[in-house]
Amino acid sequence: MVVFVGGFDPRGGRYYHRLCAQQAKLQAQVDQAVYSVGELKALQVSEEGKAHSVWSLGGSSPSACEYVFFDWTDHIRTHWPKSLYAVCKAGLRTYGEALISWRSLRSLGAALPYTLLAFVYPLIFMLLLGLLGIACLYGVWHANTDWPWWSRALACLGVVAVIGWGGKKLDGLLHISWLLRIFNFARSSARTSAPGTTEQERIHDMAQWLAQRVRQQPDLELVVLGFSVGSAQSIQLLDALSDALRSSDVAPVKDRVTLLTLGNCIPLFSFFPTAGSFRSSVSKVAADPEIYWVDISSPGDSVSFGMCDLLRLALPDASPANESCVNPRHMCTPRFHKLFEPRRYRFIRRNKMRMHFQYLMASEKAGAYNFFAMLTAPTSVRQYVEKFLVR
């Protein structure tokens, strides 16, 4: 069973089911293989909770995996303002709180300068757009002093409209507000990740349901797959699942559950001073021998934390010599540059959103990282990772 926890994306199970089917078909042509994606169905894990989605994903193995889409899109939509003004206003607050943790910013810059650049990228864009607007307004107002004041005021309004329109068009091309929404959510979730919230209740319900499945099927290979921002949600899910398994009659088993994080954003969610609850979950998962955690994140994906000292960035106050931490077992790079022709890869690399979604998409050439082969292999996911991705 694969439990997919998606990123900060208001699109739900239908979109990801369609993406899975489309990309499986494309990957099958590259691999000269057959991948099958089953019908989308609703999945109710508790009587009162929101329904999730489930479908089957099959490959060369005789049995298909059960692919569960953990649906938290309603929670995302409550943190997804449509107004760009509201996004930018919240962004200024986010950057203000980030400056309080300037030591963590310095550590991030030393470890992943491109990721730090992606973090300040929206702020630079807002400042440049604001300076351009001020300069144009000043120029229009003072360049036509012989005009009546009302005509100069109309000209200034026209300038504001053009700059606003141009900024919105650039945002559509560069996905600046998408990044800023993620950063704003990281700040707000640091305050709302305490037990008792709707988000945590949904995580608790899923953990209880998964624990029951493990009791019913002791030989079940359970993979919790956290993609992008979902990597932070999956950490909290694993924390809750670990507690549920320990409180049950299931005997502790080393490496019982596999946590697979793709394009992880974990240090971003532990970054803010108010994220103590989340940092506690990271510490528990890192020290839990029953969890087998593998991170696959590309250094070329500038909005993820790939191939870095993940725990040092996520837990800056923890001892660097903490011998109790057994996770993550491996940090691997998908080597996207080997999966495409150079020209195609350069195009993907320039588009931050397209690059970030590549973990879930088909490749142009056969290679070690293969999302669909990994989840449908006759062997376990961890065996696939150790054979093809661990260097």
Which token pair is 23?
């990309």
pLDDT at 186: 92
Give residue 321's pLDDT.
46
Question: What is the domain partition of the chain in residue ranges?
Answer: 2-77+197-388, 82-184
At residue 145, the pLDDT reads 80
Q: How far is 311 from 331, CA to CA, in rounded Å?
A: 11
Give the burial class of 351: count Cβ atoms within 10 A of its Cβ; 0-12 exposed, 13-18 middle, 19 or more buried: middle
Q: Can you give the pTM of this predicted structure?
A: 0.91
Residues of the chain whose pLDDT is less than 70? 192-197, 248-254, 318-323
pLDDT value at residue 197: 67
Which residue type occupies 139? G
Of 205, 206, 288, whose CA–CA distance to 253 is shortest? Answer: 288
Q: Are 108 and 70 in contact (CB under 8 A)?
A: no
Q: What is the pLDDT of residue 50?
A: 82
DSSP string, 4-44: EE--S-S--HHHHHHHHHHHHHHHHHHHT---EE---EEE-
Structure confidence at residue 37 (pLDDT):
97
- What number of H helices and E strands is found in the chain? 16, 9
What is the tens place of the pLDDT at every residue in 172-197? 888 899 999 999 999 998 776 555 56
Q: How many other CB atoms are there within 10 angstroms of residue 346's CB atom?
A: 11
The bridge status of strand 52-58 relative to strand 65-70 is antiparallel
DSSP-based three-state secondary structure for 65:
strand
Reading phi first (left if > 0) and then psi (alpha if -120 to 50, else beta), residue 351 is in beta
